[in-house]
């Protein structure tokens, strides 16, 4: 299943179901077949995403400190970070907020 996010401010954004579900949970929305982030809710959604990114960065820093023998390449190739996954979505939210548009999703 795919999540397709839409806004009048940007092109559509498609995420795989596990990633889209995680993003929706972070911003406090119930993952479902469709939904909406109102323009008035975007600032709070961005704040929640920023908090999640800060928490992930802190965990990554702790893991690096506990395992300094692992080289940077092996850590980098291990997984795609949340920061990389949500960057396009955060851009969509920022542009939508600036133009006063809602962001909707469907599957």
Q: What is the pLDDT of residues 43-72, one digit of tens each?
A: 999 999 999 999 998 988 888 888 766 655
Token couple for 77 = 């190739």
Instruction: Name the pLDDT band for 8 (thresholds 50, 70, 90).
Output: very high
Residue 96 to residue 42: CA distance in whole angstroms: 8
Could you tell me how many residues make up the chain? 107
Tokens 């940077």 -> residue: 72
The answer to whether residues 97 and 49 touch, using CB atoms and an 8 Å cutoff, is: no
């Amino acid at each position: 299943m795919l999540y397709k996010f839409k806004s009048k401010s940007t092109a559509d954004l498609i995420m795989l179901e596990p990633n889209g579900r995680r993003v929706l949970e972070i911003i406090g929305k119930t993952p479902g077949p469709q939904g909406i982030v109102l323009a008035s809710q975007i600032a709070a959604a961005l704040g929640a995403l920023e908090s999640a990114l800060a928490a992930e960065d802190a965990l990554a820093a702790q893991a690096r400190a506990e395992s300094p023998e692992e080289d940077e390449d092996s850590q980098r190739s291990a997984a795609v970070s949340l920061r990389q996954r949500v960057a396009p979505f955060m851009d969509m939210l920022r542009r939508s907020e600036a133009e006063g548009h809602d962001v909707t999703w469907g599957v």
